[in-house]
Chain A
């Protein structure tokens, strides 16, 4: 379950490949591909581990709290597909 008030990070087996539209994510364990469809969400995903929670990672990427819903939804989808995991240690 995705909780935007917790700290998240990319799964260690996930690689990020920049593309003109955003990025491709590939999970070497599940062998699944995901697409990050704009550059802002790429910035958020790459910055997740450096923030205490997902909301502040969004804010750091310039996304106001009022505009976060689609980004938090995108992150929850990535959690479901195991692309993102909880960062346990602060």
Chain B
């Protein structure tokens, strides 16, 4: 071959799906010490069917064979699993790098020192306000202080480049510069992502999602600051606001193509924001392993077919946003082949105003009852075995 074939755009290559995901999220537990109002996985209680240590290690072995280079571990609060560090060590020893998301509850000085000594572990601290009042209204009392303590411990241990992960809401969108300054102060990198109406997020989305004016503000901020801020490419629905390519990243829904989610019981969903039977591709235990689900499930095959632009077909911006986020449409009760609820051309609002049937989350591990003010430090007695039934006590 002496001439170079025209190279298809990556977005076209990704549309057909890859042999293995690039961005794999693995939620190790539904148990969580917090009860954030917008929790995408409706976490709280541990699921009695939670995968065992052995089962998790078998999955890591399979990810190594498939050359999934890293996983984003989350939950729930993943560090409340008593085998969490064992699994992290096992993954990194098997060429599967780990980035884990945590609210910081277990990032003690000792843990921070251990993390600083590893080359292949990334830590992402969740924070949804640059001030305690804004953060704690969403994540719960004491959660801002907990995150700050974790960041201090990481910095003091010499851990470089922790991530601070912010879900952008109506109440913190004005704090983006403050988040950036806060991250800089800890030698950390800011990561901001889109609020999805997934899990408990469906209950608060109407009040928390940024207004149309704030979407423009967010877009302008991203264009000005995007190179130093991570986004998980989650704002591609905004790309119609400016020149193509002004917003860094891939403007494509990666669900089932380059992205998927493994949940705590081994169920595989098309994306972390789509924990619902509609987007369930299969189960690792009952469907003969992750590779089989990824490569052969009916759902993922369908998602890799060219998708219809539907009602967006006549919009000049379709090539920029490709109709936006599948999960955002689904959980607001909008058709999947129509505009995103936060469509920047304004097509989302009339769609939201029309008659729609919001699907209820089919997987809910929320704790019942209202949040309590903590009366003191949270006891850290780890469960060593999954409970026999859904437990409603503190998972830590």
Residues of A within 8 A of B (CB): 15, 17-21, 24, 26, 28-29, 31, 33, 35, 37-38, 40, 62-64, 66-67, 70-71
0/1 interface trace, chain B 53-72, chain A, CB 8 Å (1 if under)? 00000000000000101100
B18-A19 in contact (CB<8A)? yes
Task: Choose one: A21, A33, A37, A67; the contact of B22 (CB below 8 Å).
Answer: A33
Within 8 A of A (CB), among B117-158: 119-120, 122
* Chain B at the A interface: SS class: loop
Do A63 and B2 touch (CB < 8 A)? Answer: yes
CA distance A15 to B97 in the complex (A): 12
Residues of chain A within 8 A (CB-CB) of B1 are: 40, 62-63
Question: Chain A interface mostly helix, strand, loop or mixed?
Answer: mixed
- Which residues of the partner chain A approach B16 to less than 8 Å between Cβ atoms? 20
B10 in the interface (beta carbon within 8 A)? yes
Q: Which of B4, B67, B119 contacts A71 (CB 8 A)?
A: B4
Kindly report which residue of chain B lies nearest to residue A25, judged by CB atoms.
B69
B19 engages A20 (CB within 8 Å): yes
- The answer for the CA separation of A29 and B69 in the assembled complex, in Å, is 12
**Chain B residues close to A by CB (< 8 Å):** 1-5, 7-8, 10, 13, 16, 18-20, 22, 67, 69-70, 95, 97, 119-120, 122
Q: Which residues of A sit under 8 angstroms from B10, Cβ to Cβ?
A: 35, 37
Query: Which B-chain residue is minimally distant from A40 (CB atoms)?
Result: B1
Q: Name the one of A18, A35, A67 contacting B3, with C-beta atoms under 8 angstroms.
A: A67
Interchain CB contact under 8 A, A38 and B4: yes
Give which listed residue, A24, A31, A70, contacts B4 with CB less than 8 A: A70
How distant is the Cα of A70 from the Cα of B4 in the complex, in angstroms? Answer: 8
A64 touches B69 (CB 8 A): no
The CA-CA distance from A15 to B96 in the complex, in Å, is 11
Q: Which residues of chain B are within 8 angstroms of A71 by Cβ–Cβ distance?
A: 4
> How many Å from the CB of A59 to the closest CB on chain B?
11
If the complex has contacts A63-B2, A67-B3, are A19 and B69 also in contact, measured as CB distance less than 8 A? no
Other than the given A18-B19, A19-B18, A33-B22, 12 more pairs (CB < 8 A) read A15-B67, A20-B18, A20-B19, A21-B13, A26-B69, A28-B95, A31-B97, A31-B122, A37-B8, A38-B4, A67-B3, A70-B4
In the assembly, what is the distance between CA of A82 and CA of B137, in Å?
Answer: 43
Query: How close is A20's CB to chain B, nearest CB, in angstroms?
Result: 7
A to B CB contacts below 8 Å, 16 in the list = A17-B67, A17-B69, A19-B19, A20-B19, A21-B8, A24-B67, A28-B69, A31-B70, A35-B10, A37-B8, A62-B1, A63-B1, A63-B2, A64-B2, A67-B2, A67-B4
